Amino acid sequence: MARKYFRIKDVIKICRVDGEFIECLERERIIEPVKRRKLKLYAIEQVDRVRVARLLIEEMGVNLEGAEVVLHMREQMIAMQRQFNAVLRLLGQELKK
């Protein structure tokens, strides 16, 4: 079973960032950790946001505000793709009848 939450040291390693980068994303509310017993945990979706933010900011030269906009647009596109796939499945089921 895949892990649902990661500690900050895991996020740092996975995304190849430092703690300061993660704290900056938290301050700007680009990512939001879950707190459990004084421990910050990051859902896999939040880890993905850190990874994409790093790519945008460090490798593509996008500023923090631009990265936030891109992340929001990306999430909207993913949601639309899921809806489209659901419609296609329903259409496929109707055609089989």
pTM, 2 dp = 0.83
CA distances from 9 to 29, 41, 50, 52 (A): 19, 10, 13, 18
Helix (H) or strand (E) holding 13: helix 8-15
Q: What is the pLDDT of residue 1?
A: 63
Polymer length of the chain: 97
Residue stretches of the chain with pLDDT short of 70: 1
